[in-house]
Each structure stands twice: as structure tokens, then as C-alpha cells.
């Protein structure tokens, strides 16, 4: 009986190690191919300073980056810093950002966070997660994008594209975006995070779309799972 228990425990350990090893092998494939496809990866949201980035990311919630980039030139011509934006009426902000969706909530958030930045931070965007996430309309993902793209701090923002592709590539269980972020951070070295999250976003838009590929046709999916024949349905974020 004792020998059986020991053998069973050893078998589970070996199985777990093999699973981890296969996941790491897939991660290496992903990193190699993404670096080849996107040696220079652009930031999707147009901005000229960190405040503009913060507002743009806030606007991108449930909205495409393309739409945000169409709206922000008009908004930032009116005000591109907390001091000026705090003086703009919420109704005026609302009229400009309406095409981005959730305009009532977003316009209030932009107005309120601008006033807070002026009052508490001398008009500067704070350089830490805690203060960022305490701002109106700013969640962990938004804060992660600002820390990563704005300040160069290692972060791994997980959007719908990353959540979907990480599942298709067998890098996470896809339980939720929190788990996906945790899994990706444990697999990839920190030095790759900032660049990699952008590479995955672009790849998801161009080659492994939500209503395309389904884990069986794009180059990375085929490389990670060459024998997969059934469509892989990823869990939604």
C-alpha cells in the first residue's frame, strides 16, 4: 500500500513536470515567432504624453483603439493635460468622446481624475499601481498599460486578445484575466513583458482573430498544437 502511494505521487509529479515543460516549450515557440513577426512593435494608442496615454486607455474600454484614435485628437486639442481638462465641463467631454461608448461614465471619470491629478499630484500622472488604480475609471489593466507603455515599468496588461490567445496556445487555463496575467508572468521572463503584451495584441488582431483561426490555422497555433483538429473555444474575459 505504501509503495502504491509513493508510486502514485511520483507519477503525478512526473506528469506535472511534463506538463510544465510542454508549456515552457510552447512559450519559447510563441516568443520566437512573435519576435520574428514583430521585431519593432508599435503602441496602438496615439499619445504625446503620459496623461494622454492614461485618458486614451480609459477610453479604450469596450471600444476599439482605432475609434479612440479618431476621437482623441479633438479631445486633446481642447485639453491635453490635467490642468486644462479639469476646467472643461463634463458635458463638453461627453459630446467629444460619445463615439467611444460608455460616454457618461467615461466623461465623468476623465473630469474627476484630472481634478485629482491637479489637487493631489501637481498635475502629474502617478508612477505606481496603487495611486493609479485609485483614480476614477482606472482599473488594473489601465494602470498596467500606463506603467508599461508610459513609464517602462515591467507589467503584463491582459486584454481580450491576450486572454484568448494565451488559452489557444496552452499558456493558461483561462479561468479569468487575473489568472491569465499570473500565468503569463510566471512563464515569460520579466524583461519580455512590455514588448510581448503588445506583440500578442497585434498578432491577435492580424492573424489569430476572435472569429477566425480558432486555434487551428494560424502559424503559432499550428506550431504549438500541430495535431489539433477541433476548434478551440476560449473562455471570455
What is the C-alpha to C-alpha distance for residues 73 and 93, in angstroms, rounded to an integer?
Answer: 13
Domain end point (choices 111, 134, 150): 150
Residue 107: inside a domain: yes
Q: Which residue of the set 23, 106, 159, 183 is catalytic? A: 159
Contact 229, 64 (CB under 8 A): no
209 is a catalytic site residue: no
- Identify the DSSP state of 153: -
Q: Which residue of the set 23, 106, 141, 183 is catalytic? A: 141
Q: CATH number, domain at 132?
A: 1.10.340.30
Its domain, for residue 220, covers 156-237
Residue 93: inside a domain: yes
Residue 4: inside a domain: no
Residue 35: inside a domain: no
141 is a catalytic site residue: yes
User: Residue 2: its pLDDT value, please?
Assistant: 54
Residue 128: inside a domain: yes
Domain end point (choices 99, 131, 150): 150
Q: Give the count of domains, the chain.
A: 2
Scan for cell 476646467, then name that residue.
Answer: 87
User: Residue 202: its pLDDT value, please?
Assistant: 96
pTM of this structure: 0.88
Cα 140 to the chain's mean position, in Å? 10
| Average pLDDT, consecutive stretches of 10 residues, N- to C-terminus, the chain (237 residues) | 46 42 92 98 97 98 96 98 98 98 98 98 98 98 98 96 96 93 97 97 95 95 96 89
**Whether 88 and 177 share a structural domain:** no
Amino acid at each position: 500500500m505504501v509503495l502504491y502511494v509513493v508510486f502514485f505521487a511520483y507519477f503525478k509529479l512526473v506528469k506535472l513536470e511534463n506538463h510544465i515543460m510542454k508549456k515552457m516549450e510552447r512559450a519559447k515557440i510563441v516568443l520566437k515567432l512573435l519576435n520574428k513577426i514583430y521585431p519593432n512593435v508599435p503602441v496602438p494608442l496615439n499619445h504625446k504624453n503620459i496623461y494622454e496615454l492614461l485618458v486614451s486607455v480609459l477610453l479604450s474600454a469596450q471600444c476599439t483603439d482605432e475609434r479612440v484614435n479618431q476621437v482623441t485628437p479633438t479631445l486633446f486639442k481642447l485639453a491635453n493635460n490635467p490642468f486644462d481638462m479639469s476646467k472643461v465641463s463634463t458635458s463638453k467631454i461627453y459630446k467629444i468622446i460619445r463615439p467611444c461608448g460608455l460616454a457618461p461614465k467615461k466623461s465623468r471619470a476623465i473630469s474627476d481624475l484630472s481634478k485629482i491629478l491637479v489637487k493631489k499630484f501637481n498635475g502629474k500622472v502617478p508612477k505606481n499601481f496603487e495611486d493609479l488604480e485609485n483614480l476614477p475609471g482606472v482599473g488594473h489593466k489601465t494602470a498596467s498599460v500606463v506603467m508599461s507603455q508610459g513609464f517602462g515599468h515591467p507589467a503584463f496588461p491582459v486584454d481580450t486578445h491576450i486572454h484568448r490567445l494565451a488559452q489557444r496556445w496552452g499558456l493558461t487555463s483561462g479561468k479569468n484575466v487575473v489568472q491569465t496575467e499570473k500565468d503569463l508572468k510566471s512563464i515569460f521572463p520579466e524583461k519580455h513583458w512590455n514588448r510581448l503584451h503588445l506583440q500578442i495584441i497585434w498578432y491577435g488582431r492580424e492573424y489569430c482573430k476572435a472569429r477566425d483561426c480558432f486555434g487551428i490555422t494560424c502559424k503559432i497555433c499550428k506550431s504549438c498544437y500541430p495535431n489539433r483538429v477541433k476548434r478551440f473555444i476560449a473562455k471570455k474575459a
